[in-house]
Homo-oligomer: A and B are copies of this chain.
Amino acid sequence: MAQDKSETEGFSAEGWTCPLPLRDYPAIVMAHGGGGKLSADLVRHLFLPLFANPALDALDDQAVIEIDGARLAISTDSFTVSPLFFPGGDIGSLAVHGTVNDVAMAGARPLYITAGFILEEGLAMDALGRIATSMAESCRRAGVQMITGDTKVVDRGHGDGVYINTTGIGIVPDGVHIAANRAKPGDVVIVSGEIGLHGITILAAREGLGFEADLESDTAPLNGLVAAMLEVTREIHCLRDPTRGGLASTLNELAASSGVGIEIDEAAVPVPPAVAAACEMLGLDPFYVANEGKLVAILPEEHAEAVLERMRSHPLGRKAAIIGRVVEEHPRVVVAKTGIGGRRVVDMLVGEQLPRIC
């Protein structure tokens, strides 16, 4: 075929050789998508060197770019949760909330969202209708418009009912500069509520563990809570929603990006009794369990009480708590003071604790 060969010159995919830190894994394992150390390795050693640019290199959960003077926050996420429907939500609401939240974590006001559906042949039309209805409801709740979408169908057995990708676009207000690398020694660490609900709910629903009745995913759009916090002060340094990898991985990412240490008071972290009981039974640590309606904020101590008070007056921040602070000591390391007065290092998630929770 007479093709324009010059157009494909320089194409070097054949020359790709696996970088050293990835060589222990010649094939993809579940943990490469778990939000822990292997996920980070894949991003740092495979994707970043190929696509390097300032927006990507910041390694935030969203990119902030400037177009004609407006600062836009853009985030993309694919959702593969199993089961598709679970107490408190479904893959549709999760797909809207997850991306709205990643945009909001830049302090941005999410405006628009897109959806890419990968449907498995044989998916019940009724199930798709319920999922789409739930997405529409979540869009209304979050105040975002679904502006474009795409639908592909894969052969039976090559999907899992439905996978959904959402991409969100928001505007960062003037004076707001929130990024993972802005935590400073002396800053206070706040979590917006009880942790572990989403991950344990999914696990219980999937495995039929018998305590589903006590649990409900916390999936929710956090843009309203973020807007309320920014009304108190624009001096918020970091915001992140502790999804895959849980609170522990999020704190480690923020400590690493900012080059600071973080010290947590374990007893101050709100863990609901049902999550604590489930974790004890299953041998899990709630610090590593995913959340889908919680955020971690790092901000100067002088604003902490006022922000905390405002959060507690919001339906999604009623159980917000100060859980620790940023320190100069042990940079890039998160340390927890335990209930009995000891100290333990809280590491990044290694391996895969709970697959397919989002």
Neighbour of A28 across the interface among B88, B111, B128, CB < 8 A: B128
| Copies in the assembly, this chain | 2
Interface presence of A55 (CB below 8 A): yes
The CA of A151 and the CA of B78, in the complex, are separated in Å by: 7
The CA of A60 and the CA of B135, in the complex, are separated in Å by: 21
In contact, B18 and A126 (Cβ under 8 angstroms)? yes
Query: From residue 22 to 39 of chain A, which have CB atoms closer than 8 A to chain B?
Result: 22, 25-34, 39
- Chain A 150-164 near chain B by CB (<8 Å), digits 1 or 0: 111111011110010
Number of contact residues on A: which range applies? 35 or more
Interface presence of A176 (CB below 8 A): no
In contact, A136 and B78 (Cβ under 8 angstroms)? no
In contact, A125 and B53 (Cβ under 8 angstroms)? no
Chain B residues near A11 (CB-CB < 8 A) = 93, 134, 137
Interface presence of A304 (CB below 8 A): no
In contact, B62 and A148 (Cβ under 8 angstroms)? yes
Most interface-central of A1, A74, A130 (chain B CB within 10 A): A1
CB distance from A206 to the nearest CB of B (A): 12
Interface presence of A124 (CB below 8 A): yes
Interface presence of A132 (CB below 8 A): yes
A residues near B (Cβ < 8 Å) are 1, 3-4, 6-8, 10-18, 22, 25-34, 39, 42-43, 46-47, 50-51, 53, 55-56, 60-63, 65, 67-70, 72, 74-80, 88, 90, 92-93, 111-112, 114-126, 128-137, 139, 141, 145-155, 157-160, 163, 165, 167, 169, 171, 197, 214-216, 218, 220, 272, 274, 315-316, 318, 355-356, 358
5 closest A-B pairs by beta carbon, nearest first, are A33-B153, A165-B165, A63-B147, A167-B167, A76-B114
